[in-house]
Amino acid sequence: MARWPHLQRRETTYYFRRRVPADLQAQFGKREWVFSLGTSSPEQARRLCRAKSFEIDEMIARAELLGNDRPPEASRILTADDVEPLVAGYVAEQLALDLIARQTLRTPYAKKMAATVDDDVNERGEDLARGRFQKVSELSDELLARSGFIAPSDDEVRSKLSWSLLAARREVAEALQARSKGRHTPTPTLPSQTASHRPTGRTVGDLIKAYTTVKALAHGEDWVSKRYGHLFRALTELLGPQTALADVNRESCRQIRRLLEQTPTHASKRYPGKSLVDAAKLSALAGTPAISATTVNSYLSALSAMLSWAVAESWIPTNPAAGLVGAAPAAVNRRGFREPELQKIFDDLRSDEFRPWQFWLPALALYTGARANELCQLQVGDIVTQDDGLWLRISIYDADGRRVPWKHLKTPTSERKIPIHPALIGAGIGSLVTTSANREHRLFPELTGQPGNYSRKLSRWFAHRLDEVGLLEPSLVFHSFRHTFKTACLEAGLADSTIRALGGWARADIAEGYGDRSPETVMRRAISRLTYGKFELPKPS
């Protein structure tokens, strides 16, 4: 089974996994396709994998046919009226590609279709009858991205799109079945892509309102407020909400940058009711520290993203903030923990004084290298039992391959599976998975927060813990466990590709150079080599 292209098994379920061609990654917005085939049968998995490979081949052919150098469509919110033409375009493209393939590849293609099309009709009919939205999740994302639409996963219109695509997939399969049996099936004309009219004379206030709406649909209002709050205030105070976007120029953006550079940390708390301009003046008199250069750059990047969105919407011709973000050195040079420091941190964390998560999250971070939020958002089902032992799954999908809307990862390469270190097993990690019968429950439900930001309580507690044990260097934070893990990997002599795969620093083929040994075997042996000198996790009392 390991030699079957694009097919993988996770626990008892088979998954399809395939890289997106490098020259098409920007168009598809991802580096690879990964999704569950929903079966534990090797034979059915091979059949589904073959069908999915053909479907992906069609998507690639269509992308190459459309061209990779088109300017992106303007982002706009999907409405019910947009669904029908979008789906009609999909059907037309599928049948057009089939016709081209029959005319160019001829007999080999016709034989391939004849061998699979009956199964496709039955399977897609069953998908429609059972409402298997996960079967069209990837397709929905691709169509929305290519057409310039935005639709959250829980949106009612997105649900309508999913139903329509399930029906369209069956319609396409039936048409291909008819062609395979010699019946004439015409190819519909592709719907015309007419540019929608957009009003001119947009203002700074219009941009803030529209961009807030778009981002809130995807991430929630709290996320928008946290990421863009100071920027929106700076735009409103310096430029004014009624200022025409056409009048915002390079110097306007530099004014925003200068104000942000003078903005004190925790400005709203230190100077409640004051404008950012007044807060900056009071801060200068009081000697209050300003926000870091890294934070300033994050706001400037957000400003550039906003203005790029306005360009895509044809509100302005160019982005005046493009290239304004400069390289800023980190405010603090983070480092990993040393052996005596680990001893201080973990010394009494298993006592009744502390909650279980206050021990397990630092322990998991030390022996997996996972980021704080990756650990805080874990589900019970993310601790996986396999024949060779326990594994930790870092994923935005649940054990059945369904997208979990409240899970977020920093990058696509963060999606990974890590073997559980013997030290964690010896410390009793197996007891965690018996605390809840439902594998969809969060492993650490005490850590509340917004999706993508469950680690706030952990970060605050851990900062207090470091102060408590006398580790006062600003270079030491919870993320230092990740530095510690990487250093241990290097000291253990692990291959660079293995280190990157374990930590999610980059997608890597760790099977390269390992002969017949499977990647999982390589990772299991690698993780067991990690040590931290004489330090040992405290055992359960």
Give the domain CATH number at 420.
1.10.443.10
Among the ranges given (16-30, 48-62, 182-196, 477-491), the one the predictor scored with the smallest mean pLDDT: 182-196
Residue 517 CA to residue 252 CA, distance in Å, equals 59
Q: Which helix (H) or strand (E) holds 241?
A: none
342 phi, psi to nearest 5 deg: -60, -40
Residues whose CB falls within 8 Å of the CB of residue 345, separated by 6 or more in sequence, listed in order = 337, 362, 465, 466, 469, 471
pLDDT value of residue 3: 55
Domain membership flag for residue 156:
yes
Q: Could you tell me the residue range of the domain that residue 76 belongs to?
A: 7-180
For residues 431-438, average pLDDT: 67
What pLDDT does residue 54 have?
Answer: 66
Residues 158 and 259 in one domain: no
Q: Do 217 and 159 have their domain in common?
A: no
pLDDT at 192 over 80: no
pLDDT value of position 12 = 79
Q: Which of 312, 328, 353 is the last residue of a domain?
A: 312
Question: What is the pLDDT at residue 7?
Answer: 84
Q: Count structural domains, the chain.
A: 3
Q: Are residues 161 and 250 in the same domain?
A: no
Does 481 share its domain with 426? yes
Say if residue 397 is in the same domain as residue 486: yes
- pLDDT: is 374 or 26 the higher one? 374
**Is residue 330, in this structure, part of any structural domain at all?**
no
18: three-class secondary structure by DSSP:
strand
Let me know whether 175 and 231 are in one domain.
no
Same domain membership, residue 511 and residue 373:
yes
Q: CA-CA distance, 303 to 300, in Å (whole number)?
A: 5
Sign of CA dihedral 253, 257, 258, 262: positive
pLDDT tens-digit readout, 322-331: 887 765 566 6
Q: What mean pLDDT, rounded, does the chain reach? A: 82
pLDDT tens, position by position, 222-277: 778 888 888 999 999 999 888 999 899 988 998 899 899 899 988 888 888 888 88
Considering the domain boundaries, does residue 192 fall inside one?
Answer: no
- φ/ψ of residue 392, rounded to 5: -110, 120
Could you tell me which residues come within 8 angstroms of residue 143 by beta carbon, excluding any fewer than 6 positions away? 86, 90, 149, 161, 165
Asked if residue 242 and residue 344 are part of one domain, the reply reads no
**Eight-state DSSP code of residue 244:** B
| Residue 188 DSSP label | P
More confident residue, 50 or 164: 164
136 and 219 co-located in one domain: no
Checking 111-120 for CB contacts under 8 A at 24+ apart, the result is 112/54, 113/176, 113/179, 113/180, 114/180, 116/47, 116/50, 116/51, 116/54, 117/173, 117/176, 117/177, 117/180, 118/177, 119/47, 119/51, 120/51, 120/173, 120/176, 120/177
The verdict on 173 and 210 lying in the same domain is no
The verdict on residue 35 lying in a domain is yes
The mean pLDDT of 136-152, rounded to a whole number, is 76
Of 295, 312, 329, the last residue of a domain is 312
Q: Is there a single domain that holds both residue 147 and residue 67?
A: yes
